[in-house]
Amino acid sequence: MIRICVTIVFLGLTALFSCKKKEQSGKPKYEPFVLSDTMLRRCEFTIVEKDTVKSELNLFGKIQADNSKMAHVDPVVGGSVVRINVELGDYVRQGQVLAVVQSGEVAEFQKERLNALNDVSLAEKNLSVAKDLFEGKLNSEKDVIVAEKDLEKARAELNRINEVYKIYNLKGGSIYNVTAPISGFIVYKNINQNETLRADKSEQIFSIAEINEVWALANVNESDISKIKMGLAADVKTISFPDDIYHGKIDKIFNAIDPETKAMKVLVKIPNPQLKLKPEMNAKVTLHMKLHTQKIAIPSSSVIFDNNKNWVMITNAKNEVETRQIEVDHQYKDIMYISSGLSVGDKIISKNGLYIYDAVND
């Protein structure tokens, strides 16, 4: 009986020792994933470096005509609108007739001009007579001087009326032609046929603008005002032409808050050679900023988003690959700025890393 018990204990110890030995010898050994030659040819690599942090700010606003290339046409005289030759959006040339007005004031100007011409003619005759009488000792030199003063006053009045005719481009009769002071597009129109105009009307009847260069006026929220500086590069896009990007820079900062929008305005001048951009178009203005700080920057193609986390694939000199989690600060165009997870000098897969990620993490 004792011999049987000893044998059972020995067999148990042997089995236990064998299990431990098998467990130790059967423990799996970690083998790192190594890139094959085919994978190496398909991938691109980037050495991690720091770079100046760049960012962008998106603003919204409208396209406006350049104030220095705009002219307003006011109703110079009162009268009845006989004809309108242009409509909103039409292109006009300097001197082109925009509308025709029949005006009693113009007829009165003509009467004044005729009276001034008669006064000059009469004063010239009176002076001639005064000089003849003076030579014949029939009047004094004082009479000649008075006649000369009368002629001088008559000529001054005629010159004044002629200047009025020249400034307002008045013609004979009672017709007044409203003409374009500059070449450009009609961007505002406030006149109708058969309407009676008043000379004291304060609002313009036409506005004309050259739009070979326009303004983008954008609103800046109070929280972003500290980021705005003169000369910041800007890209402008419109809803009408979403594929066209217009490049410019901040040319003016309006240092005041609009009480209605609670925003500050900035102005970007944009060349408009094809005249596609029109006043009052909605515009998106993207400002490009350098923040004067440095962060680790990698190509955005390096970053793999999975399970609500960001990852990159890191490789070493032996082409062994490691999956590493990173924290992204922000993205600017095709650059990702990293707040943690990478160090300067790390070698990452910047192209086709997703294939390697799937192979390593399957």
Which pLDDT belongs to residue 218? 96
CA dist., res. 194 & res. 80, Å (int): 6
Which pLDDT belongs to residue 51? 93
How many Cβ atoms sit within 10 Å of the Cβ of residue 134?
17
Taking residues 214-225, what's their average pLDDT? 94
DSSP lists the bridge partners of residue 309 as: 306
CATH class of the structural domain 58-67+210-292? mainly beta
Percent of the chain whose predicted confidence (pLDDT) is above 90: 56
CA dist., res. 312 & res. 41, Å (int): 18
How many Cβ atoms sit within 10 Å of the Cβ of residue 295?
16
Structure tokens at 313: 């694939």
Taking residues 156-160, what's their average pLDDT? 91
CA dist., res. 285 & res. 61, Å (int): 7
20-24, 191-195, 335-339: least confidently modelled range: 20-24
Taking residues 348-352, what's their average pLDDT? 93
DSSP lists the bridge partners of residue 32 as: none
Question: Under a CB-based contact definition with an 8 Å cutoff, are residues 53 and 227 in contact?
Answer: no
Total H helices, total E strands in the chain: 5, 21
Distance of CA 172 to the CA centre of its chain: 47
CA dist., res. 351 & res. 42, Å (int): 8
Rg over CA atoms, the chain: 43
Mean pLDDT of the chain: 86
CATH class of the structural domain 70-103+174-209? mainly beta
12-21, 187-196, 232-241, 277-286: least confidently modelled range: 12-21
Residue 3 has pLDDT above 60, yes or no: no
Instruction: Kindly indicate the confidence band of residue 9, based on its pLDDT and cuts at 50, 70 and 90.
Output: very low
CA dist., res. 173 & res. 184, Å (int): 29
Name 246's Cβ contacts closer than 8 Å, sequence gap at least 6. Answer: 216, 235, 236, 237, 270, 271, 272, 277
Give pTM, 2 decimals.
Answer: 0.62
Residue 63 has pLDDT above 60, yes or no: yes
What value, to the nearest 5°, has the Cα angle with vertex 251 and ends 247 and 253? 125
CA dist., res. 324 & res. 337, Å (int): 16
Which pLDDT belongs to residue 232? 94
What value, to the nearest 5°, has the Cα angle with vertex 60 and ends 56 and 66? 110
Q: Give the residue with greater pLDDT, 102 vs 108.
A: 102
User: 199-238 burial, b if ≥16 CB within 10 A, otherwise e?
Assistant: eeeeebbbbbbbbebbbbbbbbeeeeeeebeeebebbbbb
Q: What is the CATH T-level fold of the domain 33-53+294-361, as seen in this structure?
A: 2.40.420
Q: Give the residue with greater pLDDT, 283 vs 317.
A: 283
